[in-house]
Amino acid sequence: MAAGLGAWQLAWLAAAVFVVSAGYGALMPLLPAWLTPLMAADGQAEVARHVGLLSGLYAAGVLIGAPLWGLVSDRWGRGRILVIGLVGYIASLLPLLWPDWIGLAGIYASRGATGFFVAAVVPVVPALVAEHTPQDRRARRFAWLGAMSLLGFLFGPGLNAGAAQVSAALASTGAGALDPTDLVIVMSAALGGLMMLGLAATLPRVAPAAPEDDTLPASADRKRALALWGLNGAVMFVLAGFELGIVLQGQQHPTLSSREISLMFAECSLVMLGVNALLFFTGLLERAAGRGVMAAGLVLAIAGLAMLAQHRSDAWMYVGVSFTAAGTGLVLPTISYLAAGASRRRLGATMGGLAAAAGFGQTLGSAAAGWLFGAVAQLSFAWLALPLLATLGTLIVRPAWWSPEDPLPRSPRVPSDPLPQRHPQER
């Protein structure tokens, strides 16, 4: 039985996920403000190009860092890697306070480093929670982590508004004018520092001993991990294309204002948050087979994309967004929950691969959707449903890939043998 996490330990871990998610949402809108003074002669088109490249570089940092940090955490310990990741996160933010000094190359290096060190938090927190949580409580805790990540993304843009108000309040008291952009950086770094201190003080010092029944052959464990990585990448590919498609609908439908597009994004986040709350309060993943939950989520998402491909009114578009968000909101936490059943010796690597697959799918989805919507416009939503249909087929055809139990027969114990039978790779 894994050593349980206390309420405060779990709160600090969830807060770390919240802070790095909020930092991404808060800092991304500031990129044009940093770049414009450095590229005043190049025009807005060049600034927009660099904003896109910087976003891609952050994603590349996560893509490279997640499997690396996950693998290292299996050997060095998860708590140590979490603290290292938060130290690197803070150190990568502070140079942005002096954009004129670090220049364009420094901004690129900073964003790439931020993604790389955030990747030490994203897979290691769920790995640590899985490692120290009894199985009957694991699903609720993973739903809680997913909700905190979504709340962080929603909170991030609000941090910019808060910084602007603080700056105005300081100026009105005669304390001097502080750039709101600098305040956002300082607040993001300060929150990261608080998380680092809290985790360093509260995390378990000793990893739990490996359970005696952790005898899943490495080949079966690896097969299941590869299947979950592929599913996570496919869903994130579709989700990225779906979100970009919402933005591009403004060009296809003149009646759709930027305010309505923003409302659809808020709707998407709130529906996914609601699904996470449902999973948390009902313990659905503990009561139902993960494969069935994922199948239901895929059907919902496919139905939503079909509505978006055929809609003729804004009302139906809102319905399609809700269905797609609800479906993906069911599938993603279920994938994480099933990945948490990996062998403890490979848990960090499994979670790291999951995060890397998500980043890879998101990057490809954004690029492919841009081309797809330029070619077939609204019907692109129907094309985006194809990866989900293919995944639904694998759930039906290959049920063993998604089972939390060992799909291969175990060697029976011989009563006279004083030692348990183990797989040759584990001797």
Residue 328 has pLDDT above 90, yes or no: yes
Residue 411 has pLDDT above 50, yes or no: no
Query: Which range is least confidently modeled, 12-16, 60-64, 135-139, 296-300?
Result: 135-139
> Measured between alpha carbons, how far is residue 238 from residues 151, 198, 313, 361, 391 in Å?
21, 36, 22, 8, 12
pLDDT for residue 88: 95
In tens, the pLDDT along 358-376 reads 888 888 887 787 787 777 7
Q: How far apart are CA 320 and CA 306, in angstroms?
A: 8
pLDDT for residue 34: 72
pLDDT band at 109 (very low <50, low <70, confident <90, very high): very high
pLDDT: which is higher, 169 or 102: 102
pLDDT: which is higher, 406 or 180: 180
Q: Are the CB atoms for 149 and 21 separated by under 8 Å? A: yes
- SS3 string of the chain? CCCCCCHHHHHHHHHHHHHHHHHHHHHHHHHHHHHHHHCCCCCHHHHHHHHHHHHHHHHHHHHHHHHHHHHHHHHHCHHHHHHHHHHHHHHHHHHHHCHHHHHHHHHHHHHHHHHHHHCCCCCHHHHHHHHCCCHHHHHHHHHHHHHHHHHHHHHHHHHHHHHHHHHHHHHHCCCCCCCHHHHHHHHHHHHHHHHHHHHHHHCCCCCCCCCCCCCCCHHHHHHHHHHHHHHHHHHHHHHHHHHHHHHHHHHHCCCCCHHHHHHHHHHHHHHHHHHHHHHHHHCHHHHCCHHHHHHHHHHHHHHHHHHHHHCCCHHHHHHHHHHHHHHHHHHHHHHHHHHCCCCHHHHHHHHHHHHHHHHHHHHHHHHHHHHHHHHHHHHHHHHHHHHHHHHHHHHHHCHHHHCCCCCCCCCCCCCCCCCCCCCHHHC
pLDDT for residue 87: 95
Cβ count within 10 A of residue 291: 19
Question: How many alpha carbons lie under 13 Å from residue 73 in its C-beta half-sphere?
Answer: 35
pLDDT: which is higher, 286 or 215: 286
Question: How many alpha carbons lie under 13 Å from residue 381 in its C-beta half-sphere?
Answer: 25
pLDDT: which is higher, 251 or 169: 169
pLDDT: which is higher, 197 or 418: 197
pLDDT for residue 407: 37
- pLDDT (mean) for 6-13: 87
Residue 345 has pLDDT above 90, yes or no: no
In tens, the pLDDT along 177-190 reads 677 788 888 889 99
Q: What are phi and psi of 89, to 5 degrees?
A: -60, -45
In tens, the pLDDT along 266-314 reads 888 889 888 988 887 887 877 778 888 899 999 999 999 999 888 777 7
Q: Are the CB atoms for 207 and 20 separated by under 8 Å? A: no
Query: Which range is least confidently modeled, 11-25, 164-178, 181-195?
Result: 164-178
Q: What percent of the chain has pLDDT over 90?
A: 22
Please give the torsion angle defined by the CA atoms of residues 137, 140, 146 and 152, in that order, rounded to the nearest 10 degrees. Answer: -100
- Mean pLDDT for the chain? 80
Taking the model in full, what pTM does it have? Answer: 0.75
Structural domains in the chain, sorted by start: 1-138+149-204 (1.20.1250.20), 217-402 (1.20.1250.20)
